[in-house]
Chain A
Amino acid sequence: MSTIQLLALSDAQNDLVQVLVEPLRETFQADVELAASPIDLTQFFDVKRGQFNSTAILHVIKNQLANRHRNLRFKTHATKVALGVTGADLFIPILTYVFGEAELNGSAAVVSYYRLQNERYALPANRTLLEQRLIKEAVHELGHVLGLLHCQSPECVMHSSSYVEDIDLKSSEFCRSCKTSLFPRRK
């Protein structure tokens, strides 16, 4: 992967999205392009659930990325992936919520910081913790995009987290095994 396109989806706080640039650049050794996204999230709102359908959002991010590739005048071999960031509460139909969703071994992912905020759990707001959680979730979803599965190592960023406290227990880095799968030639 040579470029990560970081999309601040319509409702996302730009300063929070900005926080991701450096950690993603460093972790994936890739260029990070920060861009505003024209995607209108309201079309993905499920009235009954009061949540946004992440699978549908993911689909649109993926299509837009593909269209951009097609419209490029000079085709490059550089691989590009897109990560959408939102403050909306995401769901996939069978689950009550998700922190994010990714196309496994694909080109797009989406993360939400809605359930990463302490305030949602009647706790005092904590900006540092929120940023750390968001970095971990972004790295995690991009790991899936690059083909990584959940990791058994509790400290690895690819460890499955279905509860917000689980995110705090792991680090924002890949374990040695995941790193080797991701960057086989890097020492």
Chain B
Amino acid sequence: MNKNDVGILIVDDELIVRDSLTKWFREDGFRTDSADCAASALRKLQISSWDIALVDIKMPGMDGIELLQRIKEHKKEMIIIIITAFASVDTAVKALKEGAYDYVTKPIDPDYLDHLIAKALNERSLVRENLRLRDAVSELSEKDEIIGESAETQHVLEMVQTVAPTDTTVMIRGESGTGKELIARAIHTHSKRKYFPIVTVNCGALTESLLESELFGHEKGAFTGAQYRRKGKVELADCGTLFLDEVGNISMKTQMDLLRVIETKQFMRVGGSEIIHSDFRVICATNRDLEAAVKDGSFREDLYFRLNVFAIPLPPLRARRGDIAKLAHYFLDKYAKQMGRAKHGFSPDAMHTLKAYDWPGNVRELENAIERAMVVSKSGAIEKEDLPVQVHAAMQPNGKRLEDIERKYIETVLRETGWNISRSAHVLDIDRVTLYHKIEKFGLKRNQ
């Protein structure tokens, strides 16, 4: 910390006190000024910023306590130390109640004054650190914001608000990329379990045995390679929320195990005999037609009823086109910040294309499209041509083959990167070998 960055204002009607304290703090390298009355101090506070004020309690006109109250009305974070020659418990208590940092009596022990200022500065830096962390946390939580003003999105948010405070099992239904995990997190964040973890299990990504071990954990030596005891996700979710993503894709055996643990909140680790209790709330998500799965016998009916207590259907993006513009701007802002580039919005043509496209990959596809457009876009607003080929190709008048569009797009990217193969491959999200094949296939040449 540079002491010159710290401003100390001394407010006292006695010249000798002002002068000696000003000199004392100046020798320490602090930026210092003084005021002979409360009114003068308030004027100085309006003109420049001060971190610490040493205020005499007895002054003609407005006294130190009133000055303290006035300062605290506008500058809550300012550290105010009251100085008085009249040490009394009453005034000390009053000053502290009004928000004074501390209270010293004249004459002040120099060692005590040094420590007091050091302590005050330490507290000031902690307060600043706290504010900085709060900003960082709110920025992080903003990333999980649910964007959308359409009636469909608002209806979903109402359902989230309704079910979140309860302990009811929730099933989130929706196509891939509609933001099912985001909704699950929103429910958890607004629930009474928010101070405990939300543990996600991607059921679709794991084989039956791996999923079993992932859910329930295992004991040392339970299977080859199990060198240590490992806690499962169900155990880790104790007091919190267990989010089972793609729950429609689990095997019949795991369905049975899952049903048992949801009903009893008890389980055993793989290879273990100890019964473990875990208090968790279940939120699950699927894009599978579970009713059909129940009918054809690939999903247990009892588990279906156990999970499908409160269903939240998430509409696909094409069913809530009113949200596309807002989402597009949100992602543009996000990637502009991430890439350190200025954002210039979308050309009318590009926005029209975004709104007209069906977005089979939903919000996830829209986000990827905007990210890619930000990479490709040279400057200015995002143009229609900056969007991925499948998006603006959908707007092409009939008759144009996909291959033609692909050729044209690769050509554009190569031209824009000055035929830098690595960068072009990165923008197109393909590997360099594939790009070489495509260049050869389409007969593309430099300076064409």
**Residue A162 lies at the interface, judged by CB distance under 8 Å to chain B:** yes
Question: How many residues on the A side are at the interface (Cβ–Cβ under 8 A)?
Answer: 18
Interface string of B80-118 (1 = CB under 8 A from A): 000100000000000000000000001111110110000
* A36 to B113 alpha-carbon distance, docked (Å): 35
* Residue of A whose beta carbon sits closest to that of B26: A104
Q: B114 touching A94 by the CB < 8 A rule?
A: no
Segment at the A interface, from B17-25, B65-73, B363-371: B17-25
**Residue B27 lies at the interface, judged by CB distance under 8 Å to chain A:** yes
Question: How many residues on the B side are at the interface (Cβ–Cβ under 8 A)?
Answer: 21
- Cβ of B107: which chain A residues have Cβ within 8 Å of it? 49, 91, 93-96
**Residue B291 lies at the interface, judged by CB distance under 8 Å to chain A:** no
- Cβ of B17: which chain A residues have Cβ within 8 Å of it? 93-94
**Residue B28 lies at the interface, judged by CB distance under 8 Å to chain A:** yes
- Cβ of B60: which chain A residues have Cβ within 8 Å of it? none
Q: A160 touching B114 by the CB < 8 A rule?
A: yes
Q: A162 touching B16 by the CB < 8 A rule?
A: no
**Residue B348 lies at the interface, judged by CB distance under 8 Å to chain A:** no
| Interface SS, A side | loop
Q: How far is the CB of A143 from chain B (nearest CB, A)?
A: 10
- Cβ of B221: which chain A residues have Cβ within 8 Å of it? none
17 residue pairs from A and B, CB less than 8 Å apart: A55-B19, A92-B20, A92-B24, A93-B107, A94-B17, A94-B24, A94-B83, A94-B106, A95-B20, A95-B24, A95-B107, A95-B109, A95-B113, A150-B27, A150-B29, A162-B113, A163-B111
**Residue A144 lies at the interface, judged by CB distance under 8 Å to chain B:** yes
> CB within 8 Å of A: which of B358-377?
none
Binding site for A on B (CB under 8 A): 14, 16-17, 19-21, 23-24, 26-29, 83, 106-111, 113-114
- Cβ of B109: which chain A residues have Cβ within 8 Å of it? 95-96
Q: B20 touching A97 by the CB < 8 A rule?
A: no
Q: A150 touching B28 by the CB < 8 A rule?
A: yes
Q: Which of A92, A98, A149 contacts B28 (CB 8 A)?
A: A149
* A125 to B339 alpha-carbon distance, docked (Å): 69
* A96 to B107 alpha-carbon distance, docked (Å): 5
Q: How far is the CB of B107 from chain A (nearest CB, A)?
A: 5
* A102 to B107 alpha-carbon distance, docked (Å): 19
Q: How far is the CB of A130 from chain B (nearest CB, A)?
A: 20
Q: Which of A96, A104, A144 contacts B110 (CB 8 A)?
A: A96
* A150 to B23 alpha-carbon distance, docked (Å): 12
- Cβ of B23: which chain A residues have Cβ within 8 Å of it? 104
Please judge, given known A-B contacts A95-B108, A95-B109, A95-B110, whether A160 and B28 are in contact too, CB under 8 Å: yes
Interface string of A63-101 (1 = CB under 8 A from B): 000000000000000000000000000011111111000
Shortest 10 CB-CB distances between A and B: which pairs? A162-B110, A162-B111, A92-B20, A149-B29, A163-B111, A96-B107, A150-B28, A93-B16, A94-B17, A96-B109
* Residue of A whose beta carbon sits closest to that of B18: A94
Please judge, given known A-B contacts A55-B20, A104-B23, whether A96 and B108 are in contact too, CB under 8 Å: yes
- Cβ of B21: which chain A residues have Cβ within 8 Å of it? 94
Q: Which of A49, A96, A104, A162 contacts B114 (CB 8 A)?
A: A162
Q: How far is the CB of B55 from chain A (nearest CB, A)?
A: 13
* Residue of B whose beta carbon sits closest to that of A148: B27
- Cβ of B28: which chain A residues have Cβ within 8 Å of it? 149-150, 160
Interface string of A138-177 (1 = CB under 8 A from B): 0000001000011000000000101100000000000000
Q: A94 touching B20 by the CB < 8 A rule?
A: yes
* A160 to B29 alpha-carbon distance, docked (Å): 11
* Residue of A whose beta carbon sits closest to that of B56: A94
* Residue of A whose beta carbon sits closest to that of B111: A162
Q: B27 touching A97 by the CB < 8 A rule?
A: no
* A150 to B2 alpha-carbon distance, docked (Å): 12
Q: How far is the CB of B113 from chain A (nearest CB, A)?
A: 7
* Residue of A whose beta carbon sits closest to that of B106: A94
- Cβ of A144: which chain B residues have Cβ within 8 Å of it? 27
- Cβ of B83: which chain A residues have Cβ within 8 Å of it? 94
* A91 to B214 alpha-carbon distance, docked (Å): 73
- Cβ of A149: which chain B residues have Cβ within 8 Å of it? 26-29
* A96 to B27 alpha-carbon distance, docked (Å): 18
Q: How far is the CB of A88 from chain B (nearest CB, A)?
A: 17
Q: How far is the CB of B43 from chain A (nearest CB, A)?
A: 23
- Cβ of B24: which chain A residues have Cβ within 8 Å of it? 92, 94-95
* A94 to B109 alpha-carbon distance, docked (Å): 9
Q: How far is the CB of A170 from chain B (nearest CB, A)?
A: 14
